[in-house]
Amino acid sequence: MTTTKPTGQPQAPDTTTPPGAGTAAPSADPGVGAADPGVGAAVPGVGTAVPGDAGTAASDGTATAAPGGTGTSAPAAGAAAGERPMRADALRNHAKVVAAAREVFAQDGAQTSLEAVARRAGVGIGTLYRHFPTRQALLEAVYRGEVEQLCDDAQQFLTLDPWDGFAALAERLVNYLATKQALAPELLAYVGQDSTIFQTCRGSLLRAGQPLLERAQAAHVLRADTDLAEVIQLVGGIARIQTTGPGQREHLLQITLDGLRERP
């Protein structure tokens, strides 16, 4: 804004920068400068957020960078402190993408394009990237979701009698390990075998399954000379078999369970 000087004195040119003006940052590239999955912090050294750039809200309640911003924010199902929680429609889209990715990766492999996942979920590719800015973020969400679901199921199996609860766990492990077989090699391209996500999920799995195994052994319906690690190896072998007909995995699991029963 130019200030008028008294008559007769020359006016200096106005050099004040208008509010909000500045140098535009490069356009955001999906997957570059993305937030670290699960913590909401930018990946160190990649796409640091521009101070003062609040961004714009997407139609489904997720946040994307403002025009000229340097990255895309990865929404989490539970908003971190100080972050705006996702709306109900955004949560539905998040769940739809994870469910579709689980199906597509199990069917066609984890190398399947994210466009195929978006089509299966019935959302646009932009919506997918708002929730999962990188392939790694989506893979981790699917992998973590499978483990969480298995742990929840294991708690429900405790309401069954000891043998039925253990048998239900073994069947659920076959399905889980079949999904893991599709996801793990792709995830290992991004993280190491001893990474936090693998260690955390492995620990959760063992804690969820151990009570079912111990309860069956205490009831003398499961062999006392085995442990959960051996059971996982057994059902893991079944999960890796390329099935040649309907019901083959189920049949092999029944043979395995018969061998695990304690005999009088």
> 196, 183, 171: which is closest to 252 by C-alpha?
171
Residue 222's pLDDT band (cuts 50, 70, 90): very high
- How many Cβ atoms from other residues are within 10 Å of residue 11's Cβ? 9
Q: What pLDDT is recorded for position 116?
A: 94
As a whole-number percent, the residues of the chain with pLDDT over 70 amount to: 67
Give dist(CA 49, CA 111) in Å, integer: 30
Tell me whether strands 63-64 and 56-57 are parallel, antiparallel or unpaired: antiparallel
Instruction: Please tell me the predicted confidence (pLDDT) of residue 243.
Output: 65
Q: Which residues pair with 56 in a beta bridge?
A: 64
Instruction: Give the Cα separation of 178 and 106 in Å (integer).
Output: 8
Which of 144 and 67 is assigned the larger pLDDT?
144
pLDDT digits over 26-84, tens only? 433 333 333 333 333 333 333 333 333 333 344 444 444 333 333 333 344 444 444 56
pLDDT number for residue 45: 34
CA–CA gap between residue 175 and residue 29 (Å, rounded): 36
- State whether residue 261 is helix, strand or coil: strand
Going along the chain, which residue ranges are E strands?
A: 56-57, 63-64
Q: 34 Cβ partners below 8 Å, 6+ apart?
A: 43, 46, 47, 71, 72, 74, 133, 134, 137
Query: pLDDT at residue 158 above 50?
Result: yes
pLDDT band at 124 (very low <50, low <70, confident <90, very high): very high
Tracing tokens 């356009």 back to the chain, one arrives at: 27
86-123 pLDDT, tens digit per residue, is 688 889 999 999 999 988 887 888 888 999 999 999 99
pLDDT of residue 83: 54
Length of the chain, in residues: 264
Tokens 């319906």 sit at which residue? 221
> What's this model's pTM, rounded to 2 decimal places?
0.63
Residues 34, 46: Cα–Cα separation, whole Å: 8
Q: Which domains does the chain show, CATH number per domain?
A: 85-133 (1.10.10.60), 135-260 (1.10.357.10)
Dist. CA 25–CA 35, nearest whole Å: 17
CA distance 243 to 233: 18
Name residue 76's amino acid: A
